[in-house]
Structure formats: structure tokens, C-alpha cells
């Protein structure tokens, strides 16, 4: 590699050839090498412990949110009668608490459709967050599609990708009916066959081997069963 | 670089330095003048362009069209032109990471002694191509419209159809004049030259190939759409 | 002069004129000049003292720091022949960073890093604070100017081949500084908390998330949770205000130390073999090669 010249220069500058014993730098008379080694180890050990004592708690503090799962919350978004099978109704509800408007999100909600071979009498709530990189998708009534204004992703009526770069269908929210009111809960993602999996961030594939390449995060809720 | 080359460079550099002038005040004068220009430009931009706030952040929006700051336009456009989903991680993480590693390690793989850009054709060409590519992508990113809007003048009777096309997401896959994306669908700019109105209507209803069917559009909108598209010749 | 040995070799070289001896350059050390032979009037003495005061202070500091040797070495070091305007891009970037740092500190005095209040605090800066819009605008546009200058500076270094031996390490530091600058641009973008900045951050965080295996966790780390939440903004704020600027300042220091130590490059098309100096050099070269030994003196510059 590079550095024969450097070595030569270094050798000439540092070690005069006539010097007999290559003393370590800073050698003084009567110095014992074992003592020096012991001191070196002690310095590294003490310094390392002190450093770790500062850094480790700080790092733990910073990464703790990765392992923290918030409280599951459900919010009523309207009476069951408001929602129909053949089109979506746009609802706004709070997904993250404590930050006011910035914690709200939009969901498109409808009843499950017999024509599309979905389980009867369920509520389907589709997130407006594009599965490509998270831009806000819009449901276009006329075409029955969702389209994304950023990079041109297109999804069909069920939220399956039909064009553009998105990597999976649109996310869903868990939904249930309580006292005649539709309630929306935690977010979950779906595979290309619309099987529920744990919520993934946009841009992450779901299903098959991708479940290992983009592992589920402890901060998300388990998907609804079946 | 061989040791002899290094030696030669250091000697050469020493000679050039001997013939040079002291840093202070000669080089510093140029530096200070440049600094003044920079500060002047910043203040001027601030005075002229201000720092206006956009509307407040609203995660529930379904109409907002996000656009990045200009110096991320090339990345933005890269994400848009790379269509197949399997390649998304390559566009988002792969290409930028590779570029950064190549940049970081530049002195370790380009070790020739030559420094003159004219006598380093490979490096100079690579640099120019990179700059041109980034400039071109930035330009596309800056001028590319949203796939939900069509910026195009049409006769008044076709306005309604234009709105249907814009609102149905056609531009996600089709190019229409200066709007939309080139592919995977065919360009629509002169679609009426190639297929008649009936065929357009049939394609929209059936959705040939990977194209989704737009059968669910109300008949009135379908007709407006077909009117608009069959006027494009 | 004892402390001189601590100063790196190229800096130690005293500049030719005036500054022949770094430490003794100023007036004689303060404690030696206490007893003047005659006794001038009080006013005159006071005047003299006042006139000497700056020099005295400098001498006092220098005696305790030996800084003048370093400073003269740095200021009067030779810059190679042919240095032109392209070489000012580095200091232009530096002043852009300084401008960002100063305006940033003042913006921080009025800004509230909270998802519910950030937008209002920026509106307050813009509308109510004296010169608020100007300082905010300088910070906003300064970031664009700084990014442009960083790229121009890098382009100059690339095309002039200035990253080659012996300046490889400085190139690496420079690229890290580029990455940190882009990090600043990204984290700062969320802070105004308007639509543009919000969605840009959403997309940016999700881009991080597409990295296989670690990506999803990195996104959670950036957001401090599975969704953009209460602590995301303060996290970005801390990174933007403390973490990255600290790293940038440290690396700028290292960058500039290496520039001073290794010297700025000459334009690559310039060759030294010109008039009579060149002749003597080629003789020297020939002589050396005749002896078959590498000349050690050549390297004394570095």
C-alpha cells in the first residue's frame, strides 16, 4: 500500500539507527515494564468504566421508546348506520394522545362488502397513509381508487396496490361496534393477500421472507386475530 | 501513489509555497470579501424572501401534496422514477448509501498522482456526470406536478373531463403533456391519434393488462372523460 | 520558546519578516518594565500606560499561553502561488455555519419545541419579535446557502484533486461534515411544524425505515415511538441544537487544523519548474538521485 515512504521517514526521524535498545516512549530509568503495563490496563479500565457509566444510561434513555408500547385506545367515530358497503366515509380520530391536532389521523371507513368476498357485517377502516413513504392518500370517489400525490401510488377499492411504487396495501385500523357506535383502534398492516400483520412503517414489505427483513417492532400492537 | 510520487509532490508543493504569499493578509483578504458576500446574500434573501409559515401541520389532510426542500429534490425524483416496489429499498437506502460510501472512500480508490482535472479524464467525467444527473433529477423534481392536477389548457367543454382524469389518478401511470408519469401506462398526450373514442371508453371500463378498471365511474363522468381524451390529437 | 516544541513543526516555522521570534515579538514582558529612569508627569505616565495597555495585555496572555508563536505561524504561513477565488469556498462555508449558529441561538430563545406550541411560537417570532422575521429568514435561507457552499467546496476539492496525498483524511472529515450538514437540514426542517415540514419529516423518517432489519427500529428511535408523537419534536430539536452542531464544531476544528498543518493546495495546473529556482531544483534532484538516496529534507514541510 501507500506507506513505505512514510515508514522510511518515520524511521529516520524517530530512531537514530545507533541507539541500541528500542526504549518505549517516555522511558525513565528504573521503570519496570510490568508496572507500566499494569498502569496502562488500569487507566483503560477506569476510563472505560467512567465512560460507560455516562454513555450507557444516556443511550438507554434514548432508545427506550423503541421498546415501549403505549396504551391501546379506541375512539368512536359514528353510528354504524353512517357507513355503507360501496363507498368510504372519511373520519378523523386521535391516534396519538397528548399532541393535539398533530396526533390525529384520517381513516376511510365502510362496511365489509359481500361482492368482494369479505366477511359479512364487519367494519373496514383503511388508513390514509401511503404504504410507499407515508404521504396522505386520497380516495377518489369517481374511480373507486386511492391515489397518492407524492410518487403516484394507486390502490384499488380494498386498498390493494394497483400501480406506482407502494410496497404493500394500505394499512388498516382495528374496528369494532360498541353500542351501535363504530370504534377504531390500533393500526395494523396487511400482506398483499390482506392478511393482518403487525403495523409496519411505510416502505416496508409484509409477508413471506419480508417479515424477517422488516421485523415487527415491539412498540406496535398485535394484529387482530383471523 | 508510489513513494517517489509522494516525495515529488511534497517537493513540488514546497517550491510553490516558497513562491507564494503569506496567508495574512493576502489570502485572508479574498476570504473576508467572500464572507461578506455570503452574509450579504443571506441577509438579502431573508429580506426579499422572508420566512413565511405554511399552514399548520395537519396529519389528517387528504389533499396536501408534500414536496421536499429543493436540495432533496433529486432524491425525491429518484423515488418517483423508480416504480417497481421491489426496488424501493434500493432507491431509498441503497443508492444514497452507496453514493456516500463511494464519496467517503474516494481518496482510497483514486490514488493516482495526477491532480490536473484535464489529465484525469475518468474522475472529471464521473464528477461531471454526477453533477449533471443530480441537476437533471432536481429539475424534474422541481417541475414535476402532482398526479392529481393537470396543468393544461383545454376548450371549455372538455374541462369537466379533464377534472375526471385528474381526480382518477390516471397521471400516476400515464403522461399527459407536461403532467404525469411516463409509464407504466402509455402516453396519453396524443391518444386520440392512435385509438378512437369507443376504444378509449372500452379500455377505461375493462382496464386492459395491469391497468385497473374504472367501470365504477358514473356514466356521465365516463363520457366526460372519453370526450376529453378523444380530443387529444 | 520552550512551549514551541508543542507546536506542530510547520506552524513553528517563524515567518520571515518582523516575526523572527514568536514569543518575544510583543513588547518585553510586563514585569520588566516597571522602573523608568525618569519621572514624567502623572498625566503623561497615565497616557503612556494607556497606550501600552493593549500590548501589555497581549504580552501577559502570550507569556502564559505562548499563543503568539502558533498565531504567527498560522497567519503568516505561506499560501502557495496561484491561490485564487476558488479557495475561498471553505471560509465561505464556515461563515455560513457561523451565521446559522448565531441566528439559531437567538431563535432558540423564542422557540418552543412542542407539537402543540411550536407553530404558534414560530408565528410569534415572525410577527411580534423585533427583527424576528429577519433572523428567522436568515436561518432559513442560510441553510440553503450553506448546503450550496458545502457542495461547491467539495466540487472544487474534487476537480482540483485536492483530496490526494497527503490530504486524504481531510477529505474524509469533509464528507462526514457534508453528511452532518444534511442531517442538520433534515432535522431543522421539522421544527417550524407547518404542513411542508411535517410531511417532509414523515417521508424522511420512513425513508430511514426502509433499511432492512435495523430500519424499522431506527425509525422508532427517530420518532421516539411508533408514530410521530409528543417527544418527536423535542428529539429532533435536541439533535438539531446540541448533538449535530457539537459534532460539526469539533470536526470543523479538525478540518481546519489539517488545512493549516498540510497547507492549502496549489491549483493543479501550476508547475513549480519555472525560472531559476527550477533550475537549481532540478540540479538538486539530479544530485540526489545520483547519490541514490531519498532526500529527507523534502518532507520537512509536512
Residue C280 has pLDDT above 50, yes or no: no
pLDDT(C109) > 60: yes
> Could you tell me which of A121, B224, B26 has the C-alpha nearest to residue C82?
B26
> Which residues face A173 on adjacent strands?
A125, A187
Q: What CATH architecture is A75-213?
A: 3-layer Sandwich (2.102)
Q: Which residue among C80, C189, C204 places its CB closest to the CB of B17?
A: C80
Neighboring chain A residues of B169 at a CB cutoff of 8 Å: 140, 143, 145, 147, 152, 154, 163
Statement: residue A12 has pLDDT above 80: no
CATH code of residue B184: 1.10.760.10
Q: Which residues contact C244 (CB under 8 A, 6 or more apart)?
A: C180, C183, C184, C187
Q: What is the mean pLDDT of residues B4-10?
A: 92
Q: How confident is the model at residue B160 (pLDDT cuts 50, 70, 90)?
A: confident
Mutate to test the interface with A, among C114, C218, C225, C226 (most CBs of A within 10 A): C226
Q: For residues B38 and B161, which has the higher predicted lDDT (pLDDT)? A: B38
- Of A12-21, A84-93, B106-115, C215-224, the least confident: A12-21
Residue A164 is classified by DSSP as S
**For C214, which residue in chain A has the nearest alpha carbon?**
A214
Q: Cα dihedral sign for B100, B105, B109, B115?
A: positive
Q: Rounded to an integer, what distance in angstroms lies between the CA atom of residue B84 and that of residue A163? A: 9
Within 10 angstroms of residue A13's Cβ, the number of other Cβ atoms is 11
Who wins on pLDDT, B75 or C158?
C158
**Inter-chain residue contact C158 with B6, CB threshold 8 Å:** no
Confidence class of residue B86 from pLDDT cuts 50, 70 and 90?
Answer: confident
Question: Cα separation of B129 and C237, whole Å?
Answer: 36
Quote the DSSP letter at residue C300: G
Which of B34, B10, B32, B26 has the alpha carbon at shortest distance from C83?
B26
Domain boundaries in chain A? 1-68, 75-213
Q: For A77-95, what is each residue's pLDDT tens digit? A: 999 999 999 899 999 999 9
**Residue B76 pLDDT exceeds 90:** no
In a domain, B13, yes or no: no
For B87, the grid coordinates are: 426496488
Do B70 and B134 sit in the same domain of this protein? yes
Co-location of B118 and B86 in the same domain: yes
User: Inter-chain contact A143–B216, Cβ cutoff 8 Å?
Assistant: yes
Q: Which of C190, C216, C223, C246 to mutate to test the interface with A (most CBs of A within 10 A)?
A: C216
Gap between the Cα atoms of C24 and B59, Å rounded: 67
**Residue C167 scores a pLDDT above 80:** yes
User: Is residue B223 domain-shared with residue B174, that is, in the same domain?
Assistant: yes
Q: What is the ipTM of this complex?
A: 0.82
Model confidence pLDDT, tens digit, residues C174-207: 999 999 999 999 999 999 999 999 999 999 999 9
Please give the pLDDT value at position B103: 95
H helices present in C66-212, as ranges: 67-75, 89-108, 118-127, 132-159, 168-190, 195-209
Interhelix angle C195-209/C215-223, nearest 10 degrees: 150
* Residue B121 located in a structural domain: yes
Mean pLDDT to the nearest integer, B165-190 = 76
Closest-CA residue of chain A to B217: A142
Q: Answer whether residue C85 shows pLDDT above 90.
A: yes
pLDDT tens-digit readout, B138-157? 988 887 766 666 777 788 88
State the Cα–Cα distance between residues B219 and C127, nearest whole angstrom: 51
CA A208 to chain centre: 18
Contact list in B for residue C194 (CB cut-off 8 A) is 53-57
Same-domain status, B139 and B178? no
Q: Which of B76, B109, B144 is the last residue of a domain?
A: B144
What does each C-alpha distance from B51 to B127, C81, C182 come to in angstroms? 34, 43, 20
Res. C44: pLDDT tops 60: yes
Q: In B53-196, which ranges are continuous DSSP H helix?
A: 73-81, 88-89, 95-104, 106-109, 121-143, 159-167, 191-194
**Nearest chain B residue to C83, by CA:** B27
Does C14 have pLDDT greater than 70? no
Q: Where are the domains of chain C?
A: 2-75, 85-262
Instruction: Locate the chain B residue with the closest alpha carbon to C120.
Output: B56
User: Is C120 part of the contact surface with chain A (CB cutoff 8 Å)?
Assistant: no
Mean pLDDT of C55-81: 91
B111-137: pLDDT as tens digits: 999 999 999 999 999 999 999 999 999
CB B51 within 8 A of CB C137: yes
In terms of residue numbers, what domain contains B70? 66-144
B residues 34..53 contacting C (CB < 8 A): 34-35, 37-39, 41-43, 45-47, 49-53
- Element at A97 (helix H, strand E): none
**Range from A17-31, B41-55, C110-124 carrying the lowest mean pLDDT:** A17-31
Out of B71-85, C3-17, C115-129, least confident range: C3-17
Mean pLDDT in chain B? 86
Residue of C277 and B153 predicted with greater confidence: B153
Contacts of B88 in chain A (CB under 8 A): 132, 165, 167, 203
Selected from 1.20.5.510, 1.20.810.10, 3.40.50.150, 1.10.10.10, the CATH number assigned to the domain covering C85-262 reads: 1.20.810.10
C124 pLDDT band, cuts 50/70/90, is very high
B171 and B131 housed in the same domain = no
Amino acid at each position: 500500500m501507500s506507506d513505505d515512504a512514510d515508514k522510511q521517514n518515520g524511521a529516520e526521524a524517530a530512531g537514530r539507527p545507533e541507539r541500541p535498545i528500542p526504549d518505549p516512549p517516555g522511558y525513565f530509568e528504573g521503570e519496570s515494564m510490568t508496572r507500566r503495563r499494569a498502569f496502562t490496563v488500569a487507566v483503560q479500565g477506569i476510563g472505560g468504566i467512567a465512560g460507560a457509566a455516562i454513555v450507557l444510561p444516556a443511550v438507554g434513555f434514548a432508545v427506550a421508546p423503541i421498546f415501549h408500547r403505549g396504551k391501546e385506545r379506541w375512539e368512536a367515530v359514528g353510528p354504524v348506520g353512517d357507513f355503507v358497503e360501496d363507498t368510504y366515509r372519511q373520519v378523523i380520530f386521535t391516534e396519538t394522545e397528548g399532541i393535539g391536532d398533530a396526533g390525529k389521523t384520517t381513516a376511510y371507513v365502510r362496511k365489509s362488502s359481500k361482492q368482494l368476498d369479505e366477511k359479512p357485517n364487519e367494519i373496514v377502516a383503511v388508513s390514509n397513509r401511503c404504504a410507499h413513504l407515508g404521504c396522505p392518500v386520497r380516495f377518489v370517489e369517481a374511480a373507486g381508487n386511492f391515489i397518492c400525490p407524492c410518487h403516484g401510488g394507486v390502490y384499488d377499492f380494498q386498498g390493494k396496490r394497483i400501480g406506482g411504487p407502494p410496497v404493500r396495501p394500505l394499512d388498516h385500523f382495528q374496528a369494532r361496534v360498541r353500542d351501535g357506535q363504530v370504534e377504531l383502534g390500533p393500526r395494523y398492516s396487511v400482506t398483499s393477500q390482506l392478511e393482518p400483520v403487525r403495523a409496519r412503517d411505510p416502505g416496508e414489505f409484509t409477508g413471506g421472507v419480508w417479515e424477517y427483513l422488516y421485523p415487527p417492532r415491539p412498540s406496535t400492537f398485535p394484529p387482530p386475530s383471523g | 501513489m508510489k513513494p517517489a510520487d509522494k516525495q515529488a509532490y511534497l517537493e513540488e508543493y514546497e517550491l510553490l509555497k516558497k513562491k507564494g504569499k503569506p496567508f495574512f493578509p493576502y489570502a485572508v483578504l479574498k476570504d473576508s470579501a467572500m464572507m461578506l458576500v455570503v452574509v450579504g446574500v443571506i441577509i438579502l434573501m431573508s429580506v426579499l424572501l422572508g420566512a413565511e409559515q405554511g399552514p399548520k401541520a395537519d396529519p389528517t389532510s387528504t389533499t396536501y401534496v408534500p414536496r421536499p426542500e429543493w436540495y432533496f429534490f433529486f432524491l425525491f425524483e429518484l423515488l418517483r422514477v423508480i416504480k417497481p416496489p421491489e426496488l424501493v429499498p434500493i432507491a431509498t437506502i441503497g443508492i444514497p448509501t452507496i453514493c456516500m460510501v463511494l464519496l467517503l472512500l474516494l481518496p482510497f480508490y483514486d490514488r493516482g498522482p495526477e491532480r490536473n482535472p484535464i489529465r484525469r479524464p475518468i474522475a472529471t467525467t464521473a464528477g461531471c456526470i454526477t453533477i449533471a444527473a443530480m441537476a437533471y433529477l432536481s429539475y424534474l423534481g422541481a417541475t414535476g406536478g402532482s398526479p392529481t392536477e393537470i396543468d393544461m389548457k383545454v376548450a371549455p367543454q372538455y374541462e369537466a373531463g379533464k377534472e375526471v382524469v385528474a381526480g382518477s389518478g390516471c397521471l400516476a401511470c400515464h403522461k399527459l403533456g407536461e403532467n404525469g408519469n411516463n409509464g407504466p401506462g402509455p402516453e396519453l398526450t396524443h391518444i386520440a391519434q392512435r385509438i378512437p373514442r369507443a376504444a378509449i371508453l372500452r379500455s377505461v371500463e375493462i382496464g386492459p393488462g395491469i391497468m385497473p378498471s374504472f367501470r365504477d365511474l358514473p356514466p356521465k363522468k365516463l363520457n366526460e372523460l372519453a370526450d376529453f381524451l378523444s380530443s387529444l390529437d | 520558546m520552550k512551549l514551541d516544541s508543542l507546536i506542530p513543526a510547520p506552524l513553528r516555522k517563524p515567518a520571515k519578516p518582523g516575526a523572527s521570534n514568536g514569543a518575544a515579538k510583543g513588547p518585553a514582558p510586563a514585569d520588566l518594565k516597571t522602573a523608568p529612569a525618569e519621572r514624567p508627569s502623572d498625566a503623561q505616565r497615565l497616557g503612556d500606560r494607556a497606550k501600552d495597555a493593549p500590548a501589555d495585555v497581549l504580552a501577559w496572555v502570550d507569556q502564559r499561553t505562548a499563543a503568539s508563536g502558533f498565531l504567527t505561524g498560522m497567519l503568516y504561513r505561506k499560501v502557495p502561488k496561484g491561490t485564487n477565488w476558488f479557495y475561498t469556498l471553505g471560509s465561505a462555508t464556515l461563515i455560513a455555519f457561523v451565521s446559522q449558529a448565531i441566528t439559531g441561538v437567538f431563535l432558540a430563545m423564542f422557540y418552543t419545541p412542542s407539537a402543540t406550541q411550536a407553530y404558534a411560537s414560530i408565528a410569534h417570532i415572525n410577527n411580534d419579535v423585533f427583527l424576528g422575521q429577519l433572523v428567522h429568514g436568515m436561518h432559513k435561507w442560510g441553510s440553503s446557502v450553506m448546503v450550496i457552499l458545502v457542495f461547491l467546496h467539495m466540487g472544487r476539492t474534487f476537480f482540483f484533486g485536492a483530496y490526494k496525498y497527503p490530504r486524504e483524511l481531510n477529505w474524509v472529515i469533509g464528507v462526514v461534515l457534508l453528511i452532518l450538514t444534511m442531517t442538520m437540514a433534515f432535522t431543522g426542517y421539522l421544527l417550524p411544524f407547518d404542513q411542508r415540514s411535517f410531511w417532509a419529516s414523515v417521508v424522511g423518517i420512513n425513508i430511514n425505515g426502509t433499511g432492512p432489519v435495523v430500519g424499522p427500529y431506527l425509525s422508532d428511535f427517530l420518532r421516539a415511538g411508533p408514530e410521530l408523537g409528543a417527544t418527536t419534536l423535542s428529539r429532533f430539536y435536541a439533535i438539531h441544537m446540541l448533538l449535530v452542531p457539537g459534532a460539526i464544531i469539533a470536526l470543523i476544528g479538525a478540518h481546519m487544523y489539517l488545512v493549516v498543518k498540510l497547507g492549502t493546495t496549489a491549483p493543479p495546473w501550476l508547475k513549480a519548474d519555472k525560472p531559476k529556482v527550477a533550475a537549481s531544483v532540478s540540479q538538486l534532484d539530479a544530485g540526489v538521485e545520483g547519490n541514490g538516496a531519498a532526500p529527507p529534507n523534502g518532507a520537512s514541510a509536512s
